[in-house]
């Protein structure tokens, strides 16, 4: 009976839909798991001994922006595959089971999405009794040629991928340079802390001397209070130096991605040796930042080329294959033994040509917009190149000045040491005041800090030069050479 077949279809169809939904959900879950695995953070092992080269390597492997740029490049590469699928035929499948009346009328019906189409002759019985209908089919549609439009779209995807790939090198350069700068900042903060601690130790010895002289009434008690005030001031400077050291370490841990409570920072010869200048003149157009901007220009040009290929006729070869079944008979009587499965099969072959003639105005406006965008991107490239040339010139000047200051640093320390010792001796012989001793101690502390950080300033200048050239390798080679000389 018809209701038995209806019940069977009512049970089978939901089962098929449920099975398809389950398979789709399983595939989506598998894709989600693979995506989570691909973006999972790698385990970070905190080293017990950290050098400048090690800090740079850790930032290259661990900093999230580099990993993010790599994932963006991988996603862009998938866009190339997606663009190439346009060369494949399109296949659309249809399955429809319905129940409805056959009331029909002859006449014009404007295209719309509300009233369903009814095929067959007009029914004048005004019969509201319904019947079953079944429709299934497939449509194969393929463009044999497109005047280069799909190839242009693939070129757009390739340009987008190239732009994403150039960002990887830029992200690596930025992260590695920031890690090196943070490492040098930690070394500078440590040297300032050591100088502050040495000043506190010297002032403690001086306070003991003043205390003995005051007890013997050789010096007034006021000098002891002044010496205590200078010691407290030096202790405050030591606290500030400790704070700055911790702040610098926090920045280093950020760029290296480690937790360094028990990490030993190895300065090597960075605070004792001035590097030699082996940098050569670099082409600013090969800088990663310039390459990223050049990739942006290429992307705009590819988009403009795709627009130029858009105003063409579209040719389609189409092959529809379909089948239908209905409970309505030719005389409009009902046969409920049919309608649940196809009984009439058809196919067709067609060649379709579409040409959207009025799109020319929209495409012209889009091409003019693309041309202006290309000029904007080129202007940005010119600005980037000018900034890079300025940074390179500034880094050269800083290298020269920092090197000359580093050469003068030992003389400054020796002079400050002699002045501090002389002031202490003169005070003991009542030829100088506590203020004179404090000033010479401050001068000695500053000279020691300048001496300890002078070489670091040269290294920083070389780091700035490497960043301006867009290549960290010369800087890393110099640091490695300094490490080999230490051994």
Radius of gyration from C-alpha coordinates of the chain: 40
Half-sphere exposure of 252 (CA within 13 A, CB side): 31
**Highest CATH level, class, for 50-97+131-486:** mainly alpha
pLDDT of 483 reads: 66
Alpha helices in 120-220 (DSSP H): 149-215
**Which residues, 6+ apart, have CB-to-CB distance to 349 below 8 Å?**
317, 318, 319
pLDDT of 165 reads: 93
Q: Mind giving me the DSSP string for 377-435?
A: HHHHHHHHHHHHHHHHHHHHHHHHHHHHHHHHHHHHHHHHHHHHHHHHHHHHTTSS-HH
pLDDT tens track for 225-261: 888 888 898 899 899 999 999 999 999 988 988 876 6
Confirm if 355 and 313 have CB atoms less than 8 A apart.
Answer: yes
**Helix 473-486 vs helix 52-62: crossing angle, to nearest 10:** 140
The first and second tokens of residue 399, run together, are 């290298």
pLDDT of 446 reads: 81
What's the full length of the chain, in residues? 487
Q: What is the spatial distance between Cα 333 and Cα 320, in angstroms, rounded to a whole number?
A: 29
Q: What H or E segment, with its residue span, contains residue 139?
A: strand 131-142
Q: pTM higher than 0.85, yes or no?
A: no
Where residue 107 falls (left for φ over 0; alpha for ψ -120 to 50; beta otherwise) is left
pLDDT tens track for 146-170: 888 999 999 999 999 999 999 999 9
3-state secondary structure 18-36: HHHHHHHHHHHHHHHHHHH
Which phi and psi angles does 139 have, rounded to 5°?
-130, 120
Query: Where do the domains of the chain lie?
Result: 50-97+131-486
Taking 50 as the pLDDT cut, the residues of the chain under it are 1-41, 43
Q: What is the spatial distance between Cα 53 and Cα 179, in angstroms, rounded to a whole number?
A: 10
pLDDT of 127 reads: 64
Residue 188: count other Cβ atoms within 10 Å of its Cβ.
Answer: 21
| 93 DSSP β-pair partners | 138
Q: What is the spatial distance between Cα 304 and Cα 81, in angstroms, rounded to a whole number?
A: 21
């Amino acid at each position: 009976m018809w209701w038995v077949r209806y019940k069977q279809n009512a049970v089978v169809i939901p089962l098929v839909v449920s099975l398809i939904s389950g398979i789709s959900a399983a595939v989506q879950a598998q894709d989600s798991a693979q995506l989570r695995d691909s973006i999972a953070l790698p385990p970070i092992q905190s080293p017990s001994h950290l050098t400048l080269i090690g800090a740079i390597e850790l930032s290259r492997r661990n900093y999230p922006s580099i990993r993010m740029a790599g994932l963006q490049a991988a996603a862009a590469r998938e866009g190339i595959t997606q663009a190439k699928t346009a060369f494949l035929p399109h296949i659309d499948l249809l399955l429809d089971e319905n129940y409805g009346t056959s009331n029909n009328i002859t006449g014009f019906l404007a295209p719309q999405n509300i009233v369903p189409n009814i095929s067959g002759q007009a029914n004048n019985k005004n019969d509201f009794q319904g019947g079953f209908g079944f429709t299934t089919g497939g449509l194969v549609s393929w463009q044999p040629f497109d005047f280069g439009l799909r190839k242009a779209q693939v070129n757009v995807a390739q340009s987008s991928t190239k732009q994403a790939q150039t960002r990887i090198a830029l992200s690596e350069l930025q992260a590695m340079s920031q890690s090196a700068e943070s490492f040098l900042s930690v070394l500078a903060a440590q040297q300032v802390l050591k100088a502050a601690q040495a000043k506190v130790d010297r002032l403690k010895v001086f306070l003991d001397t003043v205390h003995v002289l005051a007890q013997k009434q050789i010096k007034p008690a006021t000098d002891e209070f002044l010496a205590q005030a200078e010691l407290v001031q030096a202790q405050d400077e030591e606290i500030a130096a400790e704070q700055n050291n911790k702040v610098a370490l926090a920045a280093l841990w950020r760029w290296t991605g480690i937790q360094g409570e028990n990490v030993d920072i190895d300065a090597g010869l960075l605070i004792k040796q001035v590097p030699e200048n082996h940098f050569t003149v670099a082409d600013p157009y090969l800088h990663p930042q310039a390459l990223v901007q050049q990739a942006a220009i290429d992307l705009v040009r590819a988009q403009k080329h795709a627009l130029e290929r858009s105003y063409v006729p579209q040719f389609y070869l189409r092959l529809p294959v379909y089948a239908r079944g209905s409970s309505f008979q030719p005389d409009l009587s009902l046969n409920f033994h049919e309608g649940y499965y196809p009984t009439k099969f058809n196919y067709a072959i067609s060649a379709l040509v579409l040409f959207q003639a009025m799109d020319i105005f929209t495409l012209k406006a889009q091409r003019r917009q693309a041309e202006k965008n290309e000029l904007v991107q080129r202007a940005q490239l010119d600005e980037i190149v000018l900034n890079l040339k300025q940074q390179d010139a500034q880094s050269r000047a800083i290298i020269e000045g920092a090197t000359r200051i580093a050469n003068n640093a030992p003389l400054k320390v020796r002079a400050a040491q002699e002045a501090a010792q002389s002031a202490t001796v003169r005070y003991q012989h009542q030829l100088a005041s506590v203020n004179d001793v404090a000033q010479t101690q401050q001068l000695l502390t500053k000279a020691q800090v300048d001496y300890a950080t002078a070489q670091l300033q040269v290294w920083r200048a070389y780091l700035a030069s490497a960043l301006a050239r867009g290549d960290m390798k010369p800087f890393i080679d110099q640091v490695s050479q300094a490490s080999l000389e230490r051994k």
